[in-house]
Amino acid sequence: MSEQELGNAADFAATPDAFQRLWTPHRLVYIQSGQQPDRDACPFCIGPSKTDEEALIVHRGKHAYVILNLFPYNSGHLLVCPYRHVDTYDKATTEEVVEIAELTQQAMRVLKSVSHAHGFNIGMNQGEVAGAGIAGHLHQHIVPRWRNDSNFFPIIAETKALPKLLGEVRDEIARGWQSLPESR
C-alpha cells in the first residue's frame, strides 16, 4: 500500500500519548494459534511432544533437550531442560545432571559459532521465590552476551530489543548444533 492509501497517523482514531510502540507481530501467533498452554500445564513437558520448529527446540538429547526461551533476554537465549518433570537440581538424576552440563557446553559452542557471542550468563532460578518463571520444571538459562550489548531499553522502558524472529534464531542454532563435532 502506498502512503496515500494508508493515510497518515493523524487520520487514525487515537488519542496522542507519550508512549512509544514496539510492534512485535511475530508474537501474534501465540495468541491466534492457541499456543498458550493451560495455566496448570507445564510448557517444558508439552514442548517435546511437538515438532522442533513448533516448540522452538534446537537439540534433543537422551535425558534433556535445548529450547529457545519464548521471552528471551537476548537473541539466542536458550534453556536446557530435563524431559522428566522435576523442580530442583538436587532432585535430578546423575544422568540428567551430566547431560544438562554437556548440553550447556555445546550450547555455548554453538552460540559462539552462530552468533559470535563474547560471553554468557548461565544459571538456574529454582523456586518461585528465587525468580523461576516456571518453578515446577528445572531449566538452566544460557544467555549469550556481546560487548556493548547493553542499552537503556530494559532499564528505562522495560523493553527488550531483539534483532531476529525466534523461528530464524531457532533455525540458525539448530543448524549450528548439527555442525558440532561429535567429540570435544
Which helix (H) or strand (E) segment holds residue 64: the answer is: strand 64-68
- The band of 111, judged by pLDDT with boundaries at 50, 70 and 90, is very high
Percent of the chain with pLDDT over 70: 70
Beta strands in the chain (DSSP E): 57-60, 64-68, 78-82, 119-123, 140-145
139 noted as active-site residue: yes
Domains and CATH numbers, the chain: 39-178 (3.30.428.10)
pLDDT tens string 18-75: 666 655 665 555 555 555 556 678 999 999 999 999 999 999 999 999 999 988 888 8
Catalytic residue among 59, 63, 77, 139: 139
pLDDT at 72: 85
Contact assessment for residue 140 and residue 80, using Cβ atoms and an 8 Å cutoff: yes
Of 63, 68, 44, 54, the closest CA to residue 173 belongs to 68
Give the N- to C-terminal CA distance of the chain in Å, as an integer: 53
pLDDT tens string 140-183: 999 999 887 765 555 445 556 666 778 888 898 999 998 888 74
Sign of CA dihedral 81, 85, 87, 89: negative
Q: Which residue type occupies 135?
A: A
Query: Per-residue pLDDT for 128 more than 80?
Result: yes
The interaxial angle of helices 94-115 and 166-178, nearest 10 deg, is: 110
